[in-house]
Amino acid sequence: MIEANDPTLKPWVEVPENSDFPIQNLPFGIFKTQYLEPGAGVAIGHCILDLTYLHENGFFDELGLPVGVFNQQYLNDFIGLGKKTTSAVRNRIAELLDINNKELQSNKAACAIALIPMEEAEMLMPIKVQNYTDFYSSIEHATNVGTMFRDPDNALLPNWKHIPVGYHGRASSIIPSGVNIHRPKGQTKAPDAELPTFGPSKRLDFELETAFITCKENALGDSISTEKADDHIFGFVLFNDWSARDMQVWEYVPLGPFLAKNFASSISPWIVTMDALEPFRVPGVEQKPEVLPYLEYEGDKNFDVQLEVYLQPQGGEENLICQSNFKHMYWNVNQQLAHHSVNGCNIQVGDMYASGTISGPTPDSYGSMLELAWKGTKPLKLSDGSERKFIEDGDTVIMRGYAQNEGVRIGFGEVKCKVLPAK
């Protein structure tokens, strides 16, 4: 077992019951405060542990980390050290936070500097995203969309069960939770109209996704096997792939999403490590027809992570509108990465790979407004009496996620973003 995952570990830092951030989680992020430049931290309870301070004061001396590796705007250099090193750092942090360890605990002056209340910090982008790819790996989502827009009897296109379908997205507009967006403008064409018009999107949507971040490259021309893929994946964030459906239907043939998707994607700021999710591995669904040999895999490669979406109207309360689970993925992350690199595409440190909308089998588990309100035919009723077919100006969309068993709850925190009127 990974040492930091030991469910019997108890920290000396206060961690409220049902906190997303127990000692068994220890997700990594980049934060700043009024007094501190951006740097790396780890979440524990309501606090952030300042890794720059710990490193500069010798708490990681045994690990041989480069000088200044945490005192940076992004985690790219840190995660690029490789999982052997980053896992050792996480285990060392668990050791320092263990109630039976006095090294940091007994040094009150150091504690006062190293532990920062979350409300005093602002979370920033955890990595500089080098490349961004979005997959389309939930069979329920792909089936729903195919049913709505094409043919209920042939909802999945012929390639879908053979290829983890994806497209290359836009890295520059990936933003952390708390950064709000303006409604995008673009071309749309109503089905009965002869010509397109220009204006603010009338069908703005969210997509409930997770994304994994890579920490090890392969040389151009080389491939990553499903077996080796774990070595390349540092961890996961929640991912809201904002989508303008009316722009999407007009532009997407033949080359796929473009302006309907590239205006913004929101992520949760804490990267939950693959290590922390190890106890929550579950088998994937049976894949039929059989996949080609390079997509075959062994072991449990799906993760049981409960996912939730809340919609909060301007001045109103949060409405839970979707409950799904990461375990519903048809294609797992190992298959996604193996497929992505099988042609020799070079994966880089700090790439982001989103899952595609994660819909479950039931209507309350659909991961987008498009599906929840079924193309606008079944509007959602909110607690304030209003209805939604898509996202309106002033609405805030919040996604949360957590993995939980008898002993431990590993949370992702949240990704929250408000939609402002078009500029």
In the bound complex, what is the minimum distance in angstroms from residue 253's beta carbon to Mn ion? 17
| Rounded Cα–Cα distance for residues 218 and 224 (Å) | 7
Q: Which residues are CB-neighbours of 287 under 8 A, at least 6 positions away?
A: 161, 330
Choose, from 55, 141, 232, 339, the residue flagged as catalytic: 141
Q: Does 351 bind Mn ion (CB under 5 A)?
A: no
Residue 333's nearest CA partner among 359, 306, 307, 356 is 356
Instruction: Identify whether 46 is a catalytic site residue.
Output: no
The residue with its CB nearest to Mn ion is 241
Q: Which residues are CB-neighbours of 248 under 8 A, at least 6 positions away?
A: 257, 260, 261
- Closest CB to Mn ion among 85 and 357? 357
Q: Which residues are CB-neighbours of 132 under 8 A, at least 6 positions away?
A: 168, 169, 170, 171, 174, 265, 351, 352, 353, 354
The structure tokens listed for 332 are 């797992």
In the bound complex, what is the minimum distance in angstroms from residue 62's beta carbon to Mn ion? 42
In the bound complex, what is the minimum distance in angstroms from residue 375's beta carbon to Mn ion? 17
| Rounded Cα–Cα distance for residues 259 and 252 (Å) | 9
Structure-token match 């940091």, residue found: 104
The structure tokens listed for 291 are 């996949």
Q: Does 414 bind Mn ion (CB under 5 A)?
A: no
Q: Does 241 bind Mn ion (CB under 5 A)?
A: yes
In the bound complex, what is the minimum distance in angstroms from residue 74's beta carbon to Mn ion? 23
- Closest CB to Mn ion among 97 and 260? 260
In the bound complex, what is the minimum distance in angstroms from residue 137's beta carbon to Mn ion? 10
How many positions of this chain bind Mn ion (CB under 5 A)? 3
What's CA 353's distance to the chain center, in Å?
Answer: 9
Query: Residues 76 to 135: which contact Mn ion by CB under 5 A?
Result: 134
What does the per-residue mask of binding to Mn ion show for 175-214, with x meaning CB under 5 A? --------------------------------x-------
The C-alpha angle 121, 122, 123, rounded to 5 degrees, equals 120
Which chain residues interact with Mn ion by CB under 5 A? 134, 207, 241
Q: Which residues are catalytic?
A: 141
